Amino acid sequence: MKRKISLLLATSKGFTLIELLVVIAIIGILASVLLVNFSNTQKQAKDSAIKLEMSQIIKALEIFYSNNNSYVNGCAAGTTDCGKLRTDIVDKGGKVPSQRITASAFCLKYTLNQSNTTYWCVDSTGYAGPPATFNTCNATGKCL
């Protein structure tokens, strides 16, 4: 009687070192891409919050003007709604604003978080947006 000899093929029950290293490398690459995107998303979210608060500053200063017939001291630090909003903006990482406030007009400009060259400006005409040319407020309290 002949014995049938069956050849058992060697089957792998685990991963080889190279396979594990490849998977770890792929996970590392994906994680680094996600972290970069997440960082940019956080900056954009902070910038959006700052822009919203800048729009609220317009409303706060208009209310102050209707009560006092002047914008002067309407953004005094911590004592008015505008001052509190400015403090909130700086707490969110916005740079300290440049501002020009006169009795009849105001202009505030902030550098946003996304880069040191991105500005957001609000003025007494109701404008809220990036300054068009000089990234500053002019003598009459308007965004340029």
Contacts of 114 by beta carbon, 8 Å cutoff, 6+ apart:
40, 43, 44, 47
pTM exceeds 0.75: no
* 46 within 8 A of 54, measured Cβ to Cβ: no
Query: What whole-number distance in Å separates Cα of residue 13 and Cα of residue 143?
Result: 69
pLDDT digits (tens, 9 = 90+) for 7-53: 455 565 788 899 999 999 999 999 988 888 787 788 888 888 888 88
pLDDT at 1 over 90: no
State the alpha helices, DSSP H only, in 11-120. Answer: 17-68, 81-91
Q: Is residue 101 part of a domain?
A: yes
Q: Is residue 6 part of a domain?
A: no
pLDDT at 144: 76
Domain enclosing residue 70, as ranges: 22-129
pLDDT at 2 over 60: no
Q: How many domains does the chain have?
A: 1
pLDDT digits (tens, 9 = 90+) for 66-114: 999 988 888 887 778 888 888 888 887 777 677 888 888 988 888 777 6
* 83 within 8 A of 93, measured Cβ to Cβ: no
pLDDT at 12: 59
Q: Is residue 9 part of a domain?
A: no
Q: Is residue 141 part of a domain?
A: no
Q: Is residue 43 part of a domain?
A: yes
pLDDT at 21: 94
Q: Is residue 135 part of a domain?
A: no
